[in-house]
Amino acid sequence: MSSPSKRRDMDVMKLMMTDYKVEMINDSMTELFVDFNGPPDSLYSGGVWRVRVDLPDAYPYKSPPSTSSIESTIPTLTKHLINIFEVFLPQLLLYPNPSDPLNREAGALMMKDQISYDQKVKEHCARYAKVEDTGEGMQESDESEEENEDSNEEYSSEDEIEVEGI
């Protein structure tokens, strides 16, 4: 059996060899950003999210906190870092649980008015989940910085979701 650090490095390298854009933070194999595309044929299709990944020291032996509750029912789900982006996150988006939501307002809206919920998701994807929001394709000019500031006026930390522990 390999050491946790070798396994972590191998899993990060495998993730980097996929189509996902992976950016290491401070040249560390334990902290990264991964650009995640919304699942095709879903409300999130076309959206791109920058997911921050913080791998625990005991990865993969210590379950990430956000996946530990379902690991007992799907034991292979968190065995590889790639599965988090290919299986776990798409499943969360495709099959949300409105009775136990991360965002209570969204969960209540989904249970009360599915059509309004769908429209709200599409609006948020169009507004906050664009490729340029991940830092890709941004021009370094005063004009583009001004446009960016104008488009993010209503953006708050509540609009950002950080995934810790994976």
pLDDT score for 149: 40
CB 4 within 8 A of CB 30: no
Q: Which two tokens stand for residue 124?
A: 């948020």
pLDDT score for 64: 54
CB 89 within 8 A of CB 106: no
Full pLDDT tens readout for the chain, 166 residues: 457 788 888 889 999 999 999 999 998 888 999 999 999 999 999 999 999 988 887 777 765 555 444 444 334 444 578 888 998 899 989 999 999 988 899 999 999 999 999 999 999 999 999 887 676 543 333 343 444 344 333 333 344 444 444 4
pLDDT score for 80: 77
Burial 101-131 (b: 16+ CB within 10 A, else e): eeeeebbebbeeeeeebeebbeeebeebbee
pLDDT score for 30: 87
d(CA 96, CA 104): 12
Task: List the one residue out of 58, 62, 104, 67 whose CA is nearest residue 87.
Answer: 67
